[in-house]
Amino acid sequence: MKRLDRSLLSNKLDNVQFPDYELDSVKTNIVHFGVGNFHRAHQAVYCHKLLNQGELDWGITGVSLRATPMFDALAPQDFLYTEMTLGDTSQINIIGSIRDILIAPDDPQKVLALLTSNNTKVVTTTITEKGYYLASNAIDIAHEEVANDLADAQNPKTIYGYLAAAIELRMKAKADPLTIVCCDNLQGGGEHLEKGTYMVLEKHYPEAALWAKTNIAFVSSMVDRVTPATSEKTKCKVADELGVYDEWPVAAEPFTQWVIEDKFIGERPPFDKVGAEFVDSIHLFEQMKLRLLNASHSIISAMGYLVGDNFVHQALARPAIFNFVEQMVTKQVLPVISIPADADGNQYFADVIKRFENSHLPYRVLQVGTDSSQKVAQRWYPSIDDGLANQLIPNGFAFALAAWACYIKQALEKGDLNDPLKAVFSELLEEQPKDFINSLLVLTGAEKFNFYQNSVFINYVNDYYQHITEHGLLQALASFTIK
């Protein structure tokens, strides 16, 4: 079968929307780090819609900080790929907003030259939680790659090193201001980028650190669209519809949301023309998403794994898991968080559950479970502390933590765990349950939170862990009552 490439664009197919723009007229004023499925189903689609409206400045050059497979898949396709929306109805778009992908380790100087170019107005990131090297919510300077960038500014390995080196070059070239936008699931992602970049700047380029204060803006954003890894089924479906083969299409849900902190310096892409929202204060939006949507996702993922379900929608179809998540969020998250002025927390959560139930878009529990050591502190820990501060003992979270510890143990034993702390976790397997749980908590930064010192809460975690281990998750859930 022929491969997808620009020659297909002259065809017309029912059910398929092609770009309304000429690929060669697209300017790539955005440089994006981390061209994975999420980026391709989210920001790249917003950019594609802008290009469709004739806003031709907002194409993307992607940068991969390590892996080459996305380049290998998309380069023979003129960087075109298929985006398939899967819900009650489906829709297929050919996306042309990504115009090139650079592999940073192959040619770091090329990446720096691109970042220094005056055409580059905005840098965006989806490098996943672990790309920020956070430990206890601070950048882990002991991490080998961070330490590399702090010691040797010439050969950056981390996002921070690249940004710092680029800022120094931009200062020397008297380049225009630049905005750097975090598009990962982090609270205050822009602030982490800012801190990490200044850490390297202050060490190696103090003059550029001063220059950056008035020439570089760091922006946070709340990004949302459920986007699973691409399945063989998706590839076959796309090939059937297009009549050509796409090596790496992406399927995602109908819902999409992007709320961006309005703190740009220099040109701001008009993402508001294509459904994104610029807001003065982003904190509550990030919090709402992380602590309602992502928090529930992580619980469903751990529980689904323990009962042998492959997909999120299957786990949610079990009344015991559904009820647990619903009760926990309603009683132990919603009452302790603030919601953005125009949003309704209960409605938001009800919509999230409906989205998770979308069986047209199976989402593997193990995909959500990937890197969970980097996720729980963002998604769960602040709600536990807020509960305790409100005189609640959030026993739902104690149960969730116990289930998560069981997930880590079982997934390790079965060879299913995909996590940057996998090797460290493996060494804990022989520990006594209490020590095992304590180690997991410490390794995920719990010591910085008040709940870690709360013996009532920690005893709950230990008791539930024992219960789940002895009786299995479903029986433990049957005898659990939320407070």
Contact positions vs ligand CS2 (CB under 6 A): 185, 224-226, 294, 297, 367-368, 375
Task: Please report how close the Cβ of residue 41 comes to ligand CS2 at its closest, in angstroms.
Answer: 9
CA distance 164 to 422: 30
Nearer to ligand CS2 among residue 48 and residue 355 (C-beta): 355
Nearer to ligand CS2, 57 or 419 (CB): 419
Nearer to ligand CS2, 367 or 454 (CB): 367
What CA–CA distance (Å, rounded) separates 336 from 233? Answer: 41
Instruction: Identify which of residues 42 and 318 has a Cβ nearer to ligand CS2 in the complex.
Output: 42
The minimum distance between CB 379 and ligand CS2, in angstroms, equals 8
User: For ligand CS2, which is the closer residue by CB, 16 or 222?
Assistant: 222
CA atoms within 13 A on the CB side of 424: 10
Which residues on neighbouring strands pair with residue 364, listed in sequence order?
311
Nearest distance from C-beta of residue 373 to ligand CS2, angstroms:
12
C-beta of 49 vs 225, nearer to ligand CS2: 225
> Which residue has the CB atom at the shortest distance from ligand CS2?
297
Name the residue type at position 456. Answer: V
Q: How far is the CB of 444 from ligand CS2 (least distance, A)?
A: 14
Nearest to 328 by CA among 395, 403, 405, 407: 395
CB of 277 to ligand CS2, least distance (A): 15
Task: Decide whether 163 or 182 has the Cβ nearer to ligand CS2.
Answer: 182
Minimum CB–partner distance for residue 226 and ligand CS2 (Å):
5
CB of 200 to ligand CS2, least distance (A): 28
